[in-house]
Amino acid sequence: MTNVPLPSYPFISKHDEEHKAACEERSRGLEIRLESKLQEMRAAEVTQRAHERSTEMLDRAARAKNAASKVEWLMKAIDIAVAPSKGLTACSKGCSHCCHISLDISEAEARVIHKATGRRLDAKAGIAGEEAERGISERQKRATGVACPFLSRVGTCTIYDVRPFNCRSHVNVDQDDLLCRLTTAEEDEKVARVPYLEMRHYKASYRSILGSEQRFADIRGWFPR
Ligand code: SF4
């Protein structure tokens, strides 16, 4: 990894009225517009097949003998599950807004990344159970605007093949990145407004397959710069 500092995140001022108006305009009727896009996805034959295949992958993850294999099957499952949205999302190479917000990952994933990259892992960073839940908002606050340690200077992921489950499942189904852009309002509060692909089923499976003993930390905590 390079020691050259990454460019700082270009927060939009929370007082930027033009941006605020553009976001409000976009949000109006968003649900109706997205519903027709989702109908298009659901109508595709490939979606049903993807669901069946990703369910098979989840079963394999649940039966896998060790945490690294579970992670491997979970990654396959989520990649297959999001595949039908290809071409219908705002996400594209070089767009990195979501690499500047908090990203909790499991110890199992952190170890897979450590093995693949050789990057030093702070094994003490993880916390489990209710304590991990309680610390979420503090971790979100600390991470907002701070680049993920695996983000390159040109906005690409340097660990694409082993990137975490939450990166793979974080898909904005809007027409562009307008609603993903962080404003200075996010420094004080979390603003939930991006229309992400519905992935609750997969996120719940991820948690239950890895087990309740799994420890979690923000990726910046596992891999300090
Ligand atoms: S692991 Fe890759 S995709 Fe995920 S936040 Fe970091 S740079 Fe972005």
Averaged pLDDT for residues 136-165: 94
Does 7 map to a domain?
no
- In a domain, residue 45? The reply is yes
* Protein residue with least CA distance to atom 5, ligand 1: 99
- In-domain check, residue 10: no
In-domain check, residue 5: no
- 121 part of a folded domain: yes
How many other CB atoms sit within 10 Å of the CB of residue 26? 17
What pLDDT, in 10s, does the model give residues 127-149? Answer: 988 888 888 888 888 999 999 99
Instruction: Please give the model's pTM, rounded to 2 decimal places.
Output: 0.90
Ligand 1 centroid – CA 148 distance (Å): 6
Q: How confident is the model at residue 155 (pLDDT cuts 50, 70, 90)?
A: very high
User: Lowest mean pLDDT: which of 30-34, 181-185, 198-202?
Assistant: 30-34
Give percent above pLDDT 70 in the chain.
93
Burial of 206 (0-12, 13-18, 19+ CB in 10 A): buried
Residue 153 belongs to some domain of the structure: yes
| 58 inside domain | yes
Total domain count for the chain? 1
Contact 1, 148 (CB under 8 A): no
Distances (CA, A) of 201 to 42, 80, 169, 177: 16, 14, 11, 25
pLDDT of residue 3: 60
Residue 1 lies in a domain: no
Q: What is the mean pLDDT of residues 18-27?
A: 91
Indicate which residue's Cα is closest to atom 1 of ligand 1.
Answer: 163
Condensed to tens digits (0 to 9), the pLDDT of residues 87-115 reads 889 999 999 999 999 999 999 999 999 99
Average pLDDT over residues 214-225: 94
Residue 6: the pLDDT is 77
Ligand 1 pocket residue status of 100, Cβ below 6 Å: no
Q: What is the mean pLDDT of residues 77-81?
A: 95
Tell me, what's the pLDDT at 190?
54
HEC readout, 20-89: HHHHHHHHCCHHHHHHHHHHHHHHCHHHHHHHHHHHHHHHHHHHCCCHHHHHHHHHHHHHHHHHHHCCCC
Probe target for ligand 1 pocket from 159, 165, 169, with the most ligand atoms within 8 Å of CB: 159
Point out which residues pair with 216 in neighbouring strands. Answer: 106, 127
Tens-digit pLDDT profile for residues 31-78? 888 887 777 777 666 678 888 999 999 999 999 999 999 999 999 999
Domain hosting residue 98, numbered range: 17-222
> Which atom from ligand 1 is nearest to the alpha carbon of 151?
7
So what's the pLDDT on residue 218? 96
167 lines ligand 1 (CB under 6 A): yes
